[in-house]
Amino acid sequence: MAIFSKEEARRILEKVISFSKADGIEANLNGSNGGNIRYARNTVSTSGEDSNVTLAVQSNFGKKSGTATINEFDDASLEKVVRRAEELAKLSPENPEFMESLPQQTYGESKTFSEATAKITPEYRAQAAANSINPASAKDVTAAGFLDDSHNFASMMNSKGLFAYNQSTSVNFTATMRTNDGTGSGWVTRDFNDVSKLDTAEASRVAIDKAIMSKEAKAIEPGKYTVILEPAASAELLGNMFFNMSARQADEGRSFLSKKGGGTKLGEKLVDERVNIYTDPFNAEVPASPWTGDGQARRKMDIINGGVVKNMFYDRYWASQKNVAPVPFPGNIIMQGGSASLEEMIKDTKKGILVTRFWYIRSVDPQTLLYTGLTRDGTFYIENGKIKHPVKNFRFNESPVIMLNNLETLGKQVRVDGDLIPYMKIRDFTFTSLSDAV
């Protein structure tokens, strides 16, 4: 029983708060029921379920705070965890950056829960795997994949009277299909809050087709190419950029958003003016929790608009130092797309490379947000509006900032890892070497 209802959570948290002898207390009660199935070599290798609930209590005396957690919920345990947090707080040095709890906030209506996902059974997972393995083995292809689902609840309360509660569900599916001669590989990823949108047979077909299409890739010279990036390819590079948009780092002069001579690039044009990126926890396709772990309300908000940096993220401490409103880290990212389909984007390309995904992306230079990584599982050469042949994988060295300045075309949006990212055509994307990896 890892999912507590709103009333059960409220009752436990009220009890926790009532045990407090500190200046302040904040408690987070979270739980999940999860399940997964993994397969490789066309057979299921592992499957399992797990469930857990954790209560975390943070107590503070002035600016000294301590945190303790527990996963038992009888009265004695609740009191014990509060006492432990208080003991730790007393032992801790003062943290000048400690922020007092927030009073009650107003949150929007959450859209993160789906009944169908909460009801996933082991039989469903076994069938989902079979629907991926069977079409592969019928085509001389070997399937490896992973399906992972969870039903979660999150709740918090503090001594200032704030209470927040949310339930969410998620399902993630990935499959790698390799041709049995070892020369072709394809991959697909899908993630949803609502599992009824997931069809592992449909998804697996995409990966199987790519595996067969990518057989016996030809080597072409590395260099600067026009690329069509599938949303799964650009998602992680963009994510890295957002993750580095902390206002404090920029103010301290150690961010790609720091400016020569001091100051930051807030309000300045950073990328192509057709780039519009925002967050919206209430988007039906990619819903996110309406509140953050410390109780701040999440709202729809621009991050980049018309290519201009509209918001950087301020934690509560840094916002108080700078006399601005805190800007919490977003729960999702939505990048506006265009109307072009992938087929149309290929048709409009004279010479270019279609990229399914990037792999092993690592930071090379935080100053310029330069990243390296490789293409993987389906890389194709486009000539005169048609896919000509598969190409060997490339290593790239590129910055998402440069990439978004070299934007040619925006295509349709796709959900990837909880975000909405469009297909993108980018010119002068820098490939620096070739890889023999399949």
* Side-chain half-sphere CA neighbours of 54 within 13 A: 7
Restricted to residues 30-59, the positions that interact with another protein (CB under 8 A) are 36, 38, 40-41, 43-48, 50, 52, 54, 56, 58
Cβ proximity to another protein, 215 vs 412, nearer residue: 215
Restricted to residues 56-115, the positions that interact with another protein (CB under 8 A) are 56, 58, 67-71, 84, 87-88, 91-93, 95-97
Cβ proximity to another protein, 210 vs 411, nearer residue: 210
Cβ proximity to another protein, 144 vs 198, nearer residue: 144
Residue type, 216: E
Rg (CA), the chain: 24
Cβ proximity to another protein, 139 vs 412, nearer residue: 139
CB of 347 to another protein, least distance (A): 30
Restricted to residues 408-437, the positions that interact with another protein (CB under 8 A) are 417-418, 432-437
Site string for another protein, 113-152 (x = CB under 8 A): -----------------------------x-xxx-x----
Task: Say whether 236 sits in a helix, a strand or coil.
Answer: helix
* Side-chain half-sphere CA neighbours of 212 within 13 A: 12
How far, in Å, CA of 256 to CA of 371, rounded? Answer: 13
Cβ proximity to another protein, 34 vs 338, nearer residue: 34
CB-based contacts of 105: which residues, under 8 Å, 6+ apart? 162, 164, 291, 295, 296, 297
Cβ proximity to another protein, 345 vs 420, nearer residue: 420
Q: Is the dihedral of CA 315, 317, 318, 320 positive or negative?
A: positive
Restricted to residues 343-402, the positions that interact with another protein (CB under 8 A) are 359-370, 372-374, 376, 393, 395, 397, 399, 401-402
How far, in Å, CA of 151 to CA of 111, rounded? Answer: 13
How far, in Å, CA of 112 to CA of 192, rounded? Answer: 10
Size of the site for another protein (CB under 8 A): 93
Q: What share of the chain is helix, strand, coil (3-state, %, to 5)?
A: 25, 40, 35
Quickly tell me which residue has 């436990």 as its tokens. 12
Restricted to residues 256-295, the positions that interact with another protein (CB under 8 A) are 256, 258-262, 292-294
CB of 313 to another protein, least distance (A): 7
Residue 223 binding another protein, by CB under 8 A: no
Restricted to residues 153-182, the positions that interact with another protein (CB under 8 A) are 174-176, 178
